[in-house]
Amino acid sequence: MKAPAKSSGSSSPAVSTLGVSPGREPRATRSFELFSLLAEHDHEQVSFAYEPSCGYRGIIAIHSTVLGPALGGTRFWNYRSDEEALVDCLRLARGMTYKAAVAGLNLGGGKSVILGDNRTTRREALFRAHGRHVESLKGRYITAEDVGTSTSDMEYIKAETNQVTGLIGKSGDPSPVTAYGVYRGMKACAAYRYGSDRLAGKTVALQGCGSVGYHLAQLLHAEGAKLVCADIDPQRVKRVVDEWGATAVAPSEIYGVPADVFAPCAMGAVINDDTIRRLEVEIVAGGANNQLAEDRHGDLLEERHITYAPDYVINGGGLINVNAELHGWSPERARNKAGEIYDTILRVFEIARDEAIPSYRAADRLAEQRIEAIAQVRRSHV
């Protein structure tokens, strides 16, 4: 693990290392537990900052910087406890390492959380305190928008640090790029499953007609796929029915729709004990994050001979879009990079077959192989 961040001056928020309040000795048992938490998944660093003047309480977790600076959004959430916030931050940071690694980006994984009520209107001081916290890590961590934060919050952060992306007027809405990556990943699933990647004539059951779902439906319609869709928001369903010729079903019915593909594009944990028995599809490929309620549901899909495109591989387009902003890529270059998700999904299935493991584990293997290979190169050229 790397050295923890130090406070960058008296006007900065008080930045402390894990479990250590400034000026106080850590309690041995507590800090032991916290460091065990880091050791469990090899996190490099965690930084805490507190700014009482505006009530800022923030955590930044850096899981890995082997491939590059750790990138991950800022989540603003009213956690039930500090521990819950830390565990969420660590888990999300690790997820970002894997997502960036399989997307072929030169980025590591990190995440930050701000503890509190995200409906607050007193945002400037809070997000500037967070910006100073980000700045104190000297480029090891780059932030972006996430649950509970907006592009205007990123502008406040930008006043204190350049280590922020997803700014107003820059790369913009990532969902068209995400949807394109999902579409390409779905075609790879079809190629693997049916020997042809043509989706014309295939039926796709689409859960969620929001930003990603809408753009995915457009691409599928253009190729001649049949669409069955559901959303809890009737207006969003109507748009996909009217514009892309979909047939609507009630949200509770989407799991049982006989189709070739189930495309979850709404919320997480939709592949669970209840839904797996109802699925009547051969492929699960969609944009939602954290689709498996638990890892064992990935095994259950395998047992049911359902081809599963691991979520963080197929929905990597959003991260690719953020990376494009960081490096000044053209929209076309970002889209092409998202198109490479096709080959990555096929590579995941190849590993799964060769090693006789489910696809969600094969995705982890692919990420770990890349990180290890680059770590080796770095070790041998010091």
Active site residues: 111
The least distance separating ligand NAD from the CB of residue 89, rounded to whole angstroms, comes to 17
Q: What is the DSSP string of 290-341?
A: S-BSSHHHHHHHHHTT-EE--HHHHTTHHHHHHHHHHHT--HHHHHHHHHTH
Q: Is 186 in the site for ligand NAD (CB under 6 A)?
A: no
Q: Is 310 in the site for ligand NAD (CB under 6 A)?
A: no
Nearer residue to ligand NAD within complex by CB, 212 or 301: 212
Piece of the chain touching ligand NAD by CB under 6 A; list 101-109, 122-130, 218-226, 259-267: 259-267
Q: Of 288, 313, 314, 352, which lies in the binding site for ligand NAD, with binding defined by CB under 6 A?
A: 288
Task: Show the binding pattern over residues 125-164: x = contacts ligand NAD (CB under 6 A), - = does not.
Answer: ----------------------------------------
Query: What dihedral do alpha carbons 331, 333, 334, 339 form, nearest 10°?
Result: 130
Task: Show the binding pattern over residues 265-284: x = contacts ligand NAD (CB under 6 A), - = does not.
Answer: xxx-----------------
Structure tokens at 129: 């305190």
Contact between 338 and 177 under an 8 Å Cβ cutoff? The reply is yes
Calculate the alpha carbon distances from 283 to 55, 76, 280, 299, 303 in Å. 47, 34, 9, 14, 13
Q: Is 344 in the site for ligand NAD (CB under 6 A)?
A: no
Q: CA angle, 62 as apex, 40 and 16 as ends, to 5°?
A: 95
Nearer residue to ligand NAD within complex by CB, 60 or 265: 265
Nearer residue to ligand NAD within complex by CB, 49 or 179: 179
Residue 146 CB coordination number (10 Å): 19
Query: Contacts with ligand NAD: how many residues (CB under 6 A)?
Result: 24
Question: How far is residue 250's CA from residue 267's CA, in Å, rounded to a whole number?
Answer: 16
Question: How far is residue 131's CA from residue 141's CA, in Å, rounded to a whole number?
Answer: 11
Contact between 136 and 6 under an 8 Å Cβ cutoff? The reply is yes
The least distance separating ligand NAD from the CB of residue 315, rounded to whole angstroms, comes to 4
The least distance separating ligand NAD from the CB of residue 20, rounded to whole angstroms, comes to 34
Q: Of 16, 65, 163, 178, which lies in the binding site for ligand NAD, with binding defined by CB under 6 A?
A: 178
The least distance separating ligand NAD from the CB of residue 32, rounded to whole angstroms, comes to 34
Task: Show the binding pattern over residues 205-244: x = contacts ligand NAD (CB under 6 A), - = does not.
Answer: --xxxxxxx----------------xxxx--x--------
Residue 235 CB coordination number (10 Å): 8
Nearer residue to ligand NAD within complex by CB, 124 or 340: 340
The least distance separating ligand NAD from the CB of residue 369, rounded to whole angstroms, comes to 23
The least distance separating ligand NAD from the CB of residue 279, rounded to whole angstroms, comes to 15
The least distance separating ligand NAD from the CB of residue 216, rounded to whole angstroms, comes to 9
Contact between 34 and 83 under an 8 Å Cβ cutoff? The reply is no
Piece of the chain touching ligand NAD by CB under 6 A; list 162-170, 174-182, 192-200, 218-226: 174-182
Q: Of 175, 275, 323, 344, which lies in the binding site for ligand NAD, with binding defined by CB under 6 A?
A: 175
Nearer residue to ligand NAD within complex by CB, 15 or 249: 249
β-pair partners for 62: 45, 110
Calculate the alpha carbon distances from 272 to 18, 87, 111, 286 in Å. 35, 22, 26, 15
Q: DSSP 3-state assignment of 188?
A: helix
Q: Which residues contact 69 (CB under 8 A, 6 or more apart)?
A: 107, 108, 110, 139, 140, 141, 142, 163
The least distance separating ligand NAD from the CB of residue 227, rounded to whole angstroms, comes to 14
Question: How far is residue 44's CA from residue 167's CA, in Å, rounded to a whole number?
Answer: 27
Contact between 181 and 314 under an 8 Å Cβ cutoff? The reply is yes
Q: Is 326 in the site for ligand NAD (CB under 6 A)?
A: no
Q: Is 300 in the site for ligand NAD (CB under 6 A)?
A: no
Nearer residue to ligand NAD within complex by CB, 46 or 265: 265
β-pair partners for 111: 61
Q: Which residues would be at the binding site for ligand NAD (CB under 6 A)? A: 174-175, 178, 207-213, 230-233, 236, 251, 265-267, 287-289, 315, 318
